[in-house]
Structure 1
């Protein structure tokens, strides 16, 4: 199963390892510290081989179930947040205890989708993670379930791990759960074909991905989406079973590998495309759509037929075609009120201070 893409994962000097909830729990759904210790053994071996490792760990809610006397994973938001509050303490203590066997210090970094979406918080999170690594501490990243609501959450730690991989400039992302790789259908139902490598979109023809288990929020659909997100940003991805962590983190000989795009996306363009919240929408005429998507040109007010939402200069907005299809995202130069007075007008007809593009090509990412 050797390939240039597996070699990229095997030789990566900086990696993000995402641990799914099912990798840290018993079949009954209870948190199991011994499973975590086995994963730490494999991660420690990779670190001793010379790689920096950032861990994105699920399991906070599961770790809070037993201490709170619950008999199953909660479904309402308030109890989930309460379980996460208790479970985050137990989870990071377990990581700390496991790594202390190797005289390593861990640091906890709790993030919400809002932290990644807002440029200042995004930069602060990046700085914190970079500093932890420079101080030789192991960063344990998790979504801050105690304050995240359904409206502002990542939805699962798979997506969070893809965002973190780009945030820290990782050379590879390894997704570990109870799934040993990508199949074209649910392998539990039989007649599913294992896919060892995804080099391009053609390798995904006919693939049907399902949702998550009762213990976690992910699932194959989530993992596939997140793997493609990271790969599109230039980060190779390995999807493997936690039971195969030793092999996944040593020679990358197991699981499914996703090839990265040849050129790594810049941090700013990645933030615009994947991380930032959209504050509004610009509707474009057909000519502007062609200029933005095909020619990678700046968006001028003359090509905008409508605006919606409340945004300010420097916010990220969606660019839509006449049929409401999102064709790009970008950083808008004007606020809603200003831009509303400029729709369809030629640049030469505008005051000098309003002749810059509505969205500059350098701040625009076609989808």
Structure 2
């Protein structure tokens, strides 16, 4: 396959050195542990494996690294108690399984880390907790305090109350958002295969492991398949998407097999284990990353070709004169999609005016805003500091 050949032939000679150089700069790490890693064949929690991972994490914690864990496994741990042989089919079933399993999961972590004299703390989040700027900052302050006290935060989605409107979708996505939240320098994704392959190794015998991905292109995204698991919710595509998100903030991602004893320690010391995803050449600041990937857009602003050109190529603000129409109902301060004349989204930002107000002032000059509305918040529909070109 061309994809595999390009990555291997160009980058394999530099892979080991590059990893060590990247790891030298790392102090704070987010480690995402998937359900397939944490569970046994009978879908119960694998206490021995959790104990092994706790030992490896504790080793690096005592060496001065700050580590945050994003852990799946609550639903898988609790579903047996409900008599479910497969993944819960309804939201109430999932919420009930999570309510039972979360305490089991935390007890397993507490017991595993207690053997290394390290304490852990539980944080349950919904997308709303990170989309609200004040709660976002409060969550970061809580995690910073825990890390300062030598305690390892263990984060999971609050599945007991979550609904589609406020759910992260999967813990791969959550781990990417947490990496931005805590300003970590590395994301490590523990899964049940050895890394990123040129094709699905479960179905394609010719699939080859790619140790280094220099850029997440469309070819890389196409090579990522879906989930083959009845336990977890994320497949390779969601892991690649998470690596792409953290890469936009200048952070690398390591994807490794979490079921292989010692793999985490080998990976964090620079051995060529799993797949290393390099960050994007240009990165977003933390606020723009939050706008692009944490906030949920609630409407669309369609702009003309001239405005698209100015926004995409020159980093300007969106003015009323460039707006063709507005779709959806939203208030001032909402996150909205910015789309070209063909309806394709190319940017995202926080609107300085509501949809009702934009309907009145679109296509007009900024100097006319106060005359039309009777007041003005500013010249821009979206200021450039609140606009992200995707």
**TM-score bracket, shorter-length normalisation:** over 0.9
Deviation digits for residues 152-201 of structure 1 (CA, Å, limit 9, x no counterpart): 31111011001101110001000001021101101122101221111124
CA–CA distance in 1 between the matches of 2:57 and 2:192? 17
Would the alpha carbon gap of residues 111 and 182 (structure 1) be closer, same or farther in structure 2, given more than 3 Å must change?
Answer: same
**Per the alignment, do residues 8 and 182 of structure 1 end up closer, same or farther by CA in structure 2, a change over 3 Å counting?**
same
Is the 8 Å Cα contact of residues 216 and 244 (structure 2) preserved in structure 1?
no
What is the TM-score normalised by the length of structure 2? 0.89
What residue number does 1:200 align with?
215
What is the TM-score normalised by the length of structure 1? 0.95
Query: Alignment partner for residue 386 of structure 2, among 351, 356, 363?
Result: 363
Q: For residues 311 and 304 of structure 1, what CA distance do their matches in structure 2 show? A: 16
Q: Is the 8 A contact 1:231 1:259 kept in 2?
A: yes
Partner of 2:370: 351
Structure 1 residues 93 and 230, CA gap change in structure 2 (3 angstroms): same
Structure 2: segments with no counterpart, 5+ residues: 1-14
Equivalent-residue separation in structure 2 for 1:301 and 1:206 (angstroms): 36
For 1:318 and 1:203, the matched residues in 2 are separated by 21
1:333 matched residue in structure 2: 352
Asked if residue 16 in structure 1 is aligned to residue 58 in structure 2, the reply is: no
CA distance in 2, matches of 1:25, 1:294: 48
Aligned 8 A contact 2:29 2:187 in 1: yes
Alignment counterpart, residue 231 of structure 2, candidates 212, 215, 219: 215
* Change beyond 3 A, Cα 1:239–1:344: same
Q: Note if 1:38 corresponds to 2:52.
A: yes
Distance (Å, rounded) in 2 between the aligned partners of 1:96 and 1:206:
37
CA distance in 2, matches of 1:268, 1:196: 31
Considering only aligned residues, what root-mean-square deviation do their CA atoms show, in Å?
1.8
SS at match of 1:245: helix
Q: What CA distance in whole angstroms lies between the structure 1 residues aligned with 2:128 and 2:273? A: 35
Structure that is richer in strand per residue? 1
What do residues 96-121 of structure 1 show as CA deviations (whole Å, max 9, x unaligned)? Answer: 11111111111100011222222222
* C-alpha distance in structure 2 between counterparts of 1:81 and 1:139, whole Å: 22
- What is the rounded CA distance, in whole Å, between the counterparts of 1:343 and 1:266 in structure 2? 29
Deviation digits for residues 61-112 of structure 1, max 9, x if unmatched? 1111233443333222111110100100000111111111111111100011
Q: How does 1:112-131 map to 2 (within 5 A)?
A: 112-131=126-145
User: Is 1:136–2:136 an aligned residue pair?
Assistant: no
Equivalent position to 2:123, from 109, 124, 131? 109
Residue 52 of structure 1: how far off its partner (Å): 0.3
Which structure shows the bigger proportion of residues in helix conformation?
2
Structure 1 position 12, deviation (Å): 1.2
Q: How many residues align?
A: 367
